[in-house]
Amino acid sequence: MNTLAGKHLVLGLSGGIACYKAAELCRALVKAGASVQVVMTEAAEHFMTAVTLQALSGRPVYTSQWDAREANNMAHINLSREADAIVIAPASADFLAKLLHGRADDLLSLMCLARPMDAVPLLVAPAMNREMWANPATQRNVAQLKADGVQVLDVGQGDQACGETGDGRMLEAEEILEDLQSFFTPKCLTGKHVLVTAGPTYEAIDPVRGITNLSSGKMGFAIARAAQQAGAQVTLVAGPVSLATPRGVARIDVRSAREMFSAVQAQVAQAQIFIATAAVADWRPDTQADQKIKKDGSGQTPQLSFVENPDILASVAQSAAARTGALFCVGFAAESHDLQAHATAKRLRKQVPLLVGNIGPSTFGQDDNALLLVDANGARELPRASKQALAVELIAEIARRL
């Protein structure tokens, strides 16, 4: 399930303060199961030592075309032929210009020029001052590199080492890692729009109290990430959770079940797949107090009555698009016991082609899960694994069913 496991990547560093992030990236790539060969320019050595990157990669670092370790003196050929991809991070403005014009005056640029273009993709993570990034020359270079087949990653926005603020920062290591995982993921959902709900809902009793559940949203966010990496356009409707938005995913934050229902209704017409992962509260208080309900010392508890929330999944599953097959609906069931029986009954009740069941108390807030896929033909278990691995498997399963 890890698309970087077993990959051999050449990580190239050109000059820039963002070289410190390359150290983090190197470590993250190795942790993800990739082998990493680092190649540095002379300018990069002013910001990061080869010793550091050798320790992190577990491999000697190359800095010169004339490295005596290569018996044929052809490091640019040998290193590029062994790679599954070449990743330049940071890629300075100067190095982008070199790539554009085919200049090859150091090992890194020579290796990029000599790589087999049909077999070894080149990805670059730009890093520079905001004015350098906005300069028309840089923007022309980036546009032409993209036209030439180079994968140019986004830049970050924020404070820069020079003291200015704006676009041009290199992405953080985790963001680049996510982009690389996405790059190597088979694009089984290209052209599809996927709508995902995730997390709990919160139903207010008064301004400081409410009814909710223990859902962390991790499974839904993992599914949104997996769908985006599979090539889909993804919209994520999220209840109140403190999770980072997956890269490339459009996020809509909501709080209550009715807010989630409205957000889904506004988005579902554009979707071909709807995955209802959210643990939506079934009921809400029929009235919400304007002020905090106070204890009065009498021992009497406040009398609360409840009304049923709208059934988001059932409403979408019974829509015209779902009935004609233009919308594929996937429901989730978080149960406490008798999972298969309850999940099977819920699938029939909601009228969805696929229902995914799990045991809520054993997965809420956790990084792993076990899933039960229930359809008209029966049930199949996905054994306990990380939620991200299960999300990748579930997205592949949905793509096959389409």
What is the set of active-site residues?
A: 162
Residue pair 57/26 in contact (Cβ under 8 Å)? The answer is yes
Q: Which of 217, 182, 211, 180 is nearest to 198 (CA)?
A: 217
With H, G, I as helix, E, B as strand and everything else as coil, classify residue 241: coil
Q: Any idea which residue has 């303060």 for tokens?
A: 17
Rounded to whole angstroms, the Cα distance separating 353 from 196 reads 16
With H, G, I as helix, E, B as strand and everything else as coil, classify residue 126: strand
Rounded to whole angstroms, the Cα distance separating 225 from 181 reads 10
Q: How many residues does the chain have?
A: 402
Rounded to whole angstroms, the Cα distance separating 402 from 397 reads 9
For 379, list phi and psi in degrees, rounded to 5: -135, 145
* E-assigned strand segments in 322-367: 328-335, 354-359
Rounded to whole angstroms, the Cα distance separating 34 from 143 reads 29
Residue pair 72/41 in contact (Cβ under 8 Å)? The answer is no
Residue pair 110/76 in contact (Cβ under 8 Å)? The answer is yes
Which strands, in side-by-side order, build the sheet including 85-91?
A: 35-40, 8-13, 85-91, 122-126, 151-152
How many other C-beta atoms can be found within 10 angstroms of the C-beta atom of residue 327? 19
Rounded to whole angstroms, the Cα distance separating 251 from 158 reads 21
